[in-house]
Amino acid sequence: MEHTKTIWSLLETVTDPEVPVLSVVDLGIIRAVQMEEGRPEIIITPTYSGCPAMDMIRMNIRITLLQHGYKDIRITTVLSPAWTTDWMSEKGKEKLMAYGIAPPTPVPVVCDLGLFQHNEAIACPRCRSYHTTMISEFGSTACKSLYRCEDCHEPFDHFKCH
């Protein structure tokens, strides 16, 4: 029990290499931490199937735990239930905003098949204006889309709903 608590707090220090302000706990990809005869098992779920950061995240979790004396670490990947941005912590969403990335919205309105939809209202992380336009549904990483603020004219990333 003590150990799993310690491991959870160690995982708070393992960050997403693409979005370094977010820990893997903030991201919501740690599904469980278990101890079995002194051997930790971390159960994680990937964000996007093709996310290249996942291999690095697994390695960083392993290194962090090894550095703190844990051995025989098992990292198990589960796919179901599939990860959703609803699992991102509120703290994580605030960190994203402060970092300049608009966080995912609570109600995913563009996750359906309707074509040429009006973009959901995304606040500019810089000036908080909702007068923004989507430039591209796909951004610098699989999890982000690209927006522009029509008031302060800054382009910004939006962590899209998923």
Beta-bridged to residue 30, according to DSSP, are 44
Q: Does 139 bind another protein (CB under 8 A)?
A: yes
Q: Does 21 bind another protein (CB under 8 A)?
A: no
Is the CB of residue 134 less than 8 Å from the CB of residue 119? yes
CA distances from 37 to 5, 41, 77 (A): 16, 11, 20
Count of positions on this chain that bind another protein (CB under 8 A): 27
Least distance (Å) between residue 148 CB and another protein: 12
Q: Does 50 bind another protein (CB under 8 A)?
A: yes
Of 79, 90, 107, 118, the residue at the interface with another protein (CB under 8 A) is 79
CA distances from 53 to 16, 22, 47, 64, 109 (A): 7, 13, 9, 16, 26
Footprint of another protein on this chain (CB under 8 A)?
46, 48-52, 78-83, 111-116, 135-140, 142, 146, 162
